């Protein structure tokens, strides 16, 4: 039977309560595989696992239990290895790397920040900052809406200006927050978000980081900024002893929102 991997801890990490359940229906019992100074928190992998809410919460609950007692390197939802031996083999092979990551991430959490433009507000900014767009828009207005060609040209100019503003605001937002974090990980681009960035933050510095987010919101009211966290530091752990199952829609949003 294949092995589902929740995360990696130090071998000395406090044990989970006996009978802790993980993913699956019925929930598969969570167990510990130790290899040297490291341990992997695993269960048997259920067949046909899908990223349903109950399963996502089960995965997250195991990590939350672990994180309450110390550092854990979280695996993405749906991470499955062929068997227990494959897991311990990778722990042995990459022991130095995982020990370094456990030390670097100890006492730290992840905050994921996503942002997009408030459409009406950003159009106001674009018009205010671009005399050529303003002039063409006014010319079209005076001409009763303008010709088909001038309307197309205006639309293309506005779209290009908005795209440029997206890149500018993404950089500005990241720079405004990176000083309150220990590390930054830029997530994959996704439709509708001009920024998708994760920040590694010391637990005791969380209030400072959230204050920086509020400051950025105040300075850039044309942005909608969403905060997800604190989370296990998903974006700061390299792939572990398992790959997301082909049937499971794991990935950043499964853990980082």
Whether 242 maps to a domain, the answer reads no
DSSP label at 203? G
Mean pLDDT within 95-106 = 92
DSSP 3-state of 34: strand
CB-based contact 30:21 (threshold 8 Å): yes
User: Whole-prediction pTM value?
Assistant: 0.75
State whether 39 and 115 are in the same domain.
Answer: no
Task: Please tell me the distance from the alpha carbon of residue 255 to that of residue 242, in angstroms, as a whole number.
Answer: 16
Q: Is residue 82 pLDDT above 50, yes or no?
A: yes
Six token digits for residue 126? 């674009």
pLDDT in the model for residue 16: 86
Map 94-143 to HEC letters. Answer: CHHHHHHHHHHHCCEEEEEEEEEECHHHHHHHHHHHCHHHHHHHHHHHHC
Q: How many domains does the chain have?
A: 2
State whether 35 and 93 are in the same domain.
Answer: yes
Give the domain extent around 180: 110-231
Whether 247 maps to a domain, the answer reads no
Whether 195 maps to a domain, the answer reads yes
pLDDT in the model for residue 96: 92
Whether 250 maps to a domain, the answer reads no
State whether 218 and 178 are in the same domain.
Answer: yes
Domain end position, chosen among 106, 140, 171: 106
Task: Please tell me the distance from the alpha carbon of residue 112 to that of residue 66, in angstroms, as a whole number.
Answer: 20
pLDDT in the model for residue 190: 64
For the chain, give the mean pLDDT: 85
DSSP 3-state of 59: helix
pLDDT in the model for residue 180: 94
State whether 100 and 120 are in the same domain.
Answer: no
Whether 68 maps to a domain, the answer reads yes
pLDDT in the model for residue 234: 86
pLDDT in the model for residue 255: 42
């Amino acid at each position: 039977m294949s092995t589902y991997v929740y995360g990696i801890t130090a071998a000395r990490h406090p044990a989970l309560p006996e009978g802790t359940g993980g993913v699956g229906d019925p929930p598969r019992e969570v167990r510990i595989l130790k290899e040297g100074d490291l341990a992997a928190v695993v269960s048997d992998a259920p067949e046909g696992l899908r990223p349903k809410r109950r399963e996502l919460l089960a995965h997250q609950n195991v990590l939350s239990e672990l994180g309450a007692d110390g550092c854990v390197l979280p695996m993405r939802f749906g991470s499955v290895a062929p068997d227990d031996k494959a897991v311990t083999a990778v722990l042995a092979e990459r022991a130095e790397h995982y020990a370094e990551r456990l030390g670097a991430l100890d006492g730290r959490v992840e905050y994921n920040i996503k942002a997009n433009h408030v459409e009406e507000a950003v159009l106001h900014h674009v018009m205010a900052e671009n005399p050529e767009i303003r002039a063409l828009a006014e010319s079209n207005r005076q001409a009763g809406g303008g010709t088909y060609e001038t309307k197309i040209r205006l639309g293309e100019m506005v779209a290009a200006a908005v795209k440029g503003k997206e890149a500018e605001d993404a950089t500005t937002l990241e720079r405004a927050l990176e000083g309150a974090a220990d590390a930054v990980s830029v997530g994959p681009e996704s439709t509708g978000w001009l920024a998708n960035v994760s920040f590694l933050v010391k637990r005791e510095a969380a209030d400072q980081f959230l204050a920086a987010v509020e400051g950025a919101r105040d300075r850039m009211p044309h942005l909608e900024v969403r905060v997800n966290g604190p989370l296990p530091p998903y974006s700061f752990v390299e792939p572990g002893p398992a790959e997301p199952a082909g049937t499971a829609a794991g990935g950043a949003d499964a853990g980082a929102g």
